[in-house]
Chains A and B, each alone.
Chain A
């Protein structure tokens, strides 16, 4: 499974866009990029995922570089409730394994 690298922490002002980077330089062709977040001591919450095209849903946007070696999760208007640990995960598409490998994630602190 590909390994991901994320900055350990980031700050963002409330109302501004939060851009969370993730490096996954060893990603292979059939591996998807998934983002989850975990608000203190709760279960991880699914945010978004993508293969190679940019994706957007009601929570966030996911920008994947053309070479797929890195991606950025964008929260367009961060609120205090977005303060959480954000995990970037790479997982294979074929085989449909249920095993997610979590790194240390990025702790995002949204400040008023």
Chain B
């Protein structure tokens, strides 16, 4: 089965500084990987997804992630944090299940942004 490990449960940055949220995956085949964001008391929003096309994936709100097979990583970055980026972020892998696939979530990283 596929799995993801988010290496930090909590990350704190100052507004205007870079953001790095780390994710490693475990997969026996070429995976599809996603990053989702959840703002407080809100639903889940897709930031970006990798599905075996370009290894550098650009998402919404200035976020991007790079798929590195040799390192089994899919880290999420943003050049300059904004206060509105404060949220919980989930690294997700698509796993094969009976007759299809299902999303397997990491445990989440809470991003705090200070002014």
Partners in one complex: no
Measuring CB to CB, which residues of chain A are less than 8 angstroms from any residue of chain B?
none
Measuring CB to CB, which residues of chain B are less than 8 angstroms from any residue of chain A?
none
